[in-house]
Amino acid sequence: MERVQREHRAASDVLCVCALLHAEAIPEELFVEGAVHLGPELECLTADPSQFDQAVAVLRSLSLVQRQAETRTLSLHRLVQAVLLDALTEAEREQWTWRAIRALDEMFPEVQPTTEYPIWKQCGRLLPHALLCLHRLRNAEDSLVLASLAYKAAQYLRERGQYVEAEPLYQHALHIQEQILGSEHLQVADSLNYLAALYWSQGKYAEAEMLLLRALSIWEQSLDPDHPDMARVLNNLANLSWEQGKYAEAEPRYQRARRIWTRTLGPDHPHVASSLNNLAELYRMQSKYAEAKPLYQRALSIREQSLGPDHPEVATSLNNLAELYRMQSKDAEAEPLYQRALFIREQVLGVTHHLVAEPLNGLANLFRDRGKYAEAKSLYQRALSIREQLLGQHHPETAQTLHDLAIFFHKQRNLCEAFSLAERSLAIRSQSLGDDHPKTVATQAFYDQLVQEREYTEEGGASEQSVEESQDRPGKAYNLERAPRPPLAIAASSQPEQDHFQEFLSACCELHPRAWCHSADLWQTYEHWIEKHQERFLLSRGAFTAQLKARGCRADRTKTARIWRGIALVKKNHD
């Protein structure tokens, strides 16, 4: 080390920088493009990059560093790094740490959802070094450069789905900004907005709403009503309302955000695509398929043209359009979109990223509806594992997979497993979304359906029927243990039941005195129709039977199965 200092001063400074960074994969561009922040000896590298090669040659000749030419990185042995750190005084360590942080902040891109993927790679190269330097100065509160680097690292981690690691960095950046700039500064609003987006992704809706409203207040005081940043917070507030089932609140916010972005950024900007996609999602959840489809297609076109065909945002549009097609029973159109979305996300984000679970779950639903139970079960299990590990066992997206998997087991007549999963999903949705959320209502109704099926079977009214039907279906037989009723009950009057059942008849059946169909097929068709068009199991098996009898149908039994007389299933285009 003394010899290096005598022979090549810049090489000695390269060692000092390396001592404060992660020992592996130190990007060479940090010493060239960020050299202006690394002291006077290294600043000359900006004018003559060949000086860096000479400095590295000296260090390699003494086996102090290794150079990986294919990745353009340096590394050094941890023992060498420990000796280097020990040789520096406390003041020198702090000085070099600050120099490294300024260089890292200069080079670390700010990642947005629409950021091109090569920029993500640059963030990945710099991230371990940024995190280590931020940790070394974790108690500092007097530098906006420190806040900027913490914010950028948090942005990248949030987009990668690493929420636990991102949250303290957002909070640190926000605290410094408030201390130096004041609580009403525009940079503070930026941090509030993205920390709220983080909480939204974690299902912490109350915390997210509080931060978004505070950011909106800051921007309303400082910006024009049609400023693009206003559209950002409006879009995020609409996302929050949509997730909470407040559709009437969400739509005007989405529409206003779209108008602002279209006017200020142009109709083909990726932000406009985001507002189109979100508005389409809102319509899809309300079964407004005709309104949703052109918005999805327009958003996909904009994203493919502006971001490239393999961007994660393109995968989002593909997955959402596939969901629309699946809900319309257009399985042939849905499957390739799911597969392409899954491929993009696995390639770009990694096979364990939480967003990979979306197309996995969608494909599982598709295979379940086709009766491909082996393929569906494998996909469900993988999606559930990803969501439980990365989002937690009490996240709304985890509840979605539990709900869908419960329907899977119900279709296989495995009532015990379906009941357990529906109970878990109901508990999560009730706590995180509230009892009145449409998704909670859907799971509650399904749960009630399962309870009533158990009781109906237990009382003997359907025991023979359930045994006969289970012989033709995969899965376990019914578990006849009595289940307690859940605390949430849905009261439905006879008139809504009649209207609901009549809509099903008009879509899927015809009444005729000489017609007949298998009771199992009729019930399965009803389940499928509910799932595709309502996502609610409004009628119990007993209520379903009562509605059939009220229309003159009668139950009968052949040597092999139970049937209904007076009704027939017909294939109709009711999408």
Residue 548, Cβ density class (10 Å: 0-12 exposed, 13-18 middle, ≥19 buried): buried
Domain 496-575 bears CATH identifier 2.40.50.140:
no
User: What's residue 493's pLDDT?
Assistant: 37
Please report, for the chain, the start and end positions of each structural domain, with discontinuous segments joined by +: 2-107, 496-575
Q: Tell me what pLDDT residue 538 has.
A: 64
Output the pLDDT for position 479. Answer: 27
Q: For residue 351, how far is the Cα from the chain centroid?
A: 14
Between CA 540 and CA 82 the distance in angstroms is 69
Best mean pLDDT range from 20-24, 339-343, 483-487: 339-343
pLDDT band per the 50, 70, 90 thresholds, residue 288: very high
Given a cut of 60, whether residue 36 has pLDDT beyond it is yes
Please report the DSSP string for 65-99 in residue order: -EEETTTTEEE--HHHHHHHHHHS-HHHHHHHHHH
Segment 138-147, tens digit of pLDDT: 888 789 999 9
Residue 514's pLDDT is what?
81
What is the model's pLDDT at position 209? 93
Question: Is the pLDDT confidence value at 489 over 60?
Answer: no
Residue, of 567 and 561, whose pLDDT is higher = 567
Per-residue pLDDT, 20: 92
Q: Is 360's pLDDT higher than 80? A: yes
For residues 392 and 117, the model is more confident at 392
Beta strands in 64-197 (DSSP E): 66-68, 73-75
**What number of CA atoms fall less than 13 Å from residue 215's CA on the CB side?**
27
Residue 473 reports pLDDT greater than 90: no
- pLDDT at 490 exceeding the cut of 70: no
- Say yes or no to pLDDT of 461 above 70: no
Strand order in the sheet with 66-68: 26-27, 73-75, 66-68
Rounded to 5°, angle at Cα 371 from 367 and 377:
55
pLDDT, tens only, 188-239? 999 999 999 999 888 888 899 999 999 999 999 999 999 998 999 999 999 9
Distance in angstroms (rounded) separating the CA atoms of residues 573 and 575: 6
How far apart CA 396 and CA 111 sit, in angstroms, is: 26
Handedness of CA 291, 332, 336, 504 (dihedral sign): positive
pLDDT at 128 over 90: yes
> Cα 465 to chain center, whole Å?
42
Who wins on pLDDT, 245 or 254?
A: 254
Average pLDDT, the chain: 86
Which of 2-16, 214-228, 236-250, 416-430 has the weakest average pLDDT?
2-16
Q: To the nearest whole percent, how much of the chain has pLDDT over 70?
A: 90
574 has pLDDT over 80: no
**51's tokens:** 């000086």
> CB of 46 within 8 A of CB of 36?
yes
> Can you tell me the distance from the alpha carbon of 247 to that of 438, in angstroms, rounded to the nearest whole number?
10
More confident residue, 452 or 59: 59
Which pairing describes strands 26-27 and 73-75: parallel, antiparallel, or unpaired? antiparallel
Torsional class of 72: left (φ above 0), alpha (ψ -120 to 50), beta (otherwise): left
User: Tell me, what's the pLDDT at 572?
Assistant: 58
Burial class (CB in 10 A: 0-12, 13-18, 19+), 16: buried
In which band, very low, low, confident or very high, does the pLDDT at 162 lie, cut at 50, 70 and 90? confident
Whether pLDDT at 575 is above 90: no
